Amino acid sequence: MKTTKEKADQDIHDNLVNNLQELLEKNYDAEKGFTKAMKDAQNNNLKEYFKFQAAQRSQFANELTDEIRNLNETPKESGSTTGTLHRTWIDIKSSLSGDKDESVLEECIRGEKASVEEYEKRLKENRFPSQIEGTLNNQKSRIQNTLNKVKTLEDLADNNWS
The whole-chain average pLDDT of the chain stands at 87
Q: Looking at residue 94, what is its pLDDT?
A: 53
- Residue with the larger pLDDT of the pair 66 and 80: 66
Tell which residue, 56, 54, 71, has the closest CA to residue 20: 71
**Per-residue model confidence (pLDDT) at position 102:** 86
Q: Is the pLDDT of residue 88 over 80?
A: no
**Cα–Cα distance measured from residue 54 to residue 28, given in angstroms and rounded to the nearest whole number:** 9
Percentage of the chain beyond pLDDT 90 is: 62
Position 162 pLDDT exceeds 50 = no
- Domains recognised in the chain with CATH numbers: 13-158 (1.20.1260.10)
By CB atoms closer than 10 A (0-12, 13-18, 19+), residue 151 is: middle
What number of helices (H) and strands (E) belong to the chain?
Answer: 5, 0
How would residue 107 be classed by pLDDT, with cut points 50, 70 and 90?
Answer: confident
Please check the confidence at residue 159 and state whether its pLDDT lies above 70: no
Give residue 114's pLDDT.
93
How large is the average pLDDT for residues 110-122?
95
Residue 119 in this model has a pLDDT that exceeds 90: yes
